[in-house]
Structure 1
């Protein structure tokens, strides 16, 4: 797809995120909106993932390690025809397969259940290693939140990825600088990120996480002998003016009026 087509898909998926979180009455709009451009690029441009090949051992694998941003993955899966779009309105409802965090046992297209921060990243490392051991093709792409990388399991996994030279293992950090109840620099500073990942033996690439040219350029810089981490500079709540860079929108649903304003902004 060209850049314009990806921008159109991303805009529409942003509206789907707002609508399904509003309908649920709960959820995490800020982090879902910050990561949706990267999710769009991966599902509709980069990865060989489809309903038809989801059991193919040589497929790419996607893991949303920051599982609270599940709406971003769900709207992409619906767009990819893993389930009907109308099912998005069952988000977080009792008995729904669209739980608050992705569940591999319930949701079609979800490879790994996530929610406990760092869990998806460590699972991804194991899957990338198993692909190597079995001489399988396909990469493992894992999206992490920048608050999430305060977890020790993330750095244990980073050591393992480098040790086993997992050049099929790609971490993407949604660097929006806001976590659950504040800014990362105030709660637990994670900078200097580039230097830290370099010291752990990773290939480090940076990009603008809302610009498809920049995103594409980053994903074309994977290393042939190392795992790669892409530090994507993003904005929490991107696309909705009153949500952008606003701590208050980490985990709260919009009111009907706020939902209507958001959809109107995204429809311009």
Structure 2
């Protein structure tokens, strides 16, 4: 693995683990599974410009309206919107803290911004919104963002824009009918500027996906809907990069990144099969995580 990407991925996990310890819980398994995906996107795959947003996120100015001229999007942390540049979208917005940590690790946001997380009056939302750092859309329920990206990509194609549209999804979203409707529509309009990376960690809010619904064989299903699909180890940077270079003329590309919900923080393995939200329920659990943090990352979680 590229050393720089590994350092960023480790930094993402460390920051989310520190937060989880301090606050008694957090979406920690999502950091474990997606750290290499986001680190690779921001350092190797996406053609985006430097951040045009303030290093410390501003306070929330209210929802957009004709009377609110101070409204802003959090997209500026991903650079300017230019025809030749790529755009980034996050569908499972409960991964928001993971994205904020990525922005910090890639020097797009100040670490002080994480102190605003989930606090009234700030934009660093627990569930990312369109005004949150690194976000462009109010994604809504899981499975809706791919339809929004479809519309944006189609509009960009008709305007002659050449930038790609990168979307991170969770595998649980493939239990949702709207996801498949969007895929067949992407295929119908021959939109090959949409690249989707699926964090396939096998988990949902209700436990393991295969105990809730069946989405496999996912690669064959995606191909049957007209997409090009590749399947890789989502913790292997080289495999992610190679998959992103898969030819897919006139078709959307889906990369199924098979990941582990305790990768890099193996102490979480004993919590199986429930990983969706890591809640610290007693002092012993907190002390164990603090010790792991100190031994693995050199932090104390305070």
- With normalisation by structure 1, the TM-score equals 0.92
Go from structure 1 to structure 2 and tell me whether the alpha carbon gap of 1:10 and 1:113 turns closer, same or farther (over 3 Å shift).
same
**1:83 corresponds to 2:109:** yes
Structure showing greater Rg: 2
Residues of 2 paired with 1:93 and 1:22: CA distance? 17
Which residue of structure 1 aligns with residue 125 of structure 2?
A: 99
**1:41 corresponds to 2:27:** no
Which residue of structure 1 aligns with residue 157 of structure 2?
A: 132
Deviation for aligned residue 1:242: 2.2
**1:142 corresponds to 2:197:** no
Check whether the contact 2:170–2:200 (CA below 8 A) recurs between aligned residues. yes
Which residue of structure 1 aligns with residue 64 of structure 2?
A: none
Go from structure 1 to structure 2 and tell me whether the alpha carbon gap of 1:265 and 1:160 turns closer, same or farther (over 3 Å shift).
farther
Check whether the contact 1:179–1:247 (CA below 8 A) recurs between aligned residues. no
Residues of 2 paired with 1:44 and 1:97: CA distance? 25
**1:235 corresponds to 2:235:** no
Check whether the contact 1:207–1:231 (CA below 8 A) recurs between aligned residues. yes
Check whether the contact 2:88–2:166 (CA below 8 A) recurs between aligned residues. yes
**1:182 corresponds to 2:207:** yes
Check whether the contact 2:104–2:111 (CA below 8 A) recurs between aligned residues. yes
Deviation for aligned residue 1:253: 3.9
Deviation for aligned residue 1:138: 1.2
Instruction: List alignment gaps of at least 5 residues for structure 1.
Output: none
Check whether the contact 1:204–1:230 (CA below 8 A) recurs between aligned residues. yes
Which residue of structure 1 aligns with residue 63 of structure 2?
A: none
Which residue of structure 1 aligns with residue 287 of structure 2?
A: 257
Deviation for aligned residue 1:98: 1.4
Q: Deviations over 1:152-208 (max 9, x none)?
A: 110110011101111100111111111112111110011111110010000011111
| SS of residue paired to 2:187 | helix
- With normalisation by structure 2, the TM-score equals 0.82
Check whether the contact 2:198–2:257 (CA below 8 A) recurs between aligned residues. yes
Which residue of structure 2 aligns with residue 110 of structure 1?
A: 135
RMSD: 1.9
Check whether the contact 1:101–1:115 (CA below 8 A) recurs between aligned residues. no
Go from structure 1 to structure 2 and tell me whether the alpha carbon gap of 1:258 and 1:44 turns closer, same or farther (over 3 Å shift).
farther
| SS of residue paired to 2:278 | coil
> For residues 199-210 of structure 1, what are the structure 2 equivalents within 5 Å?
199-210=224-235
| SS of residue paired to 1:138 | coil
Residues of 2 paired with 1:91 and 1:250: CA distance? 19
Deviation for aligned residue 1:79: 2.8
Go from structure 1 to structure 2 and tell me whether the alpha carbon gap of 1:262 and 1:125 turns closer, same or farther (over 3 Å shift).
farther
Instruction: List alignment gaps of at least 5 residues for structure 2.
Output: 53-78
| SS of residue paired to 1:248 | coil
Residues of 2 paired with 1:45 and 1:77: CA distance? 14
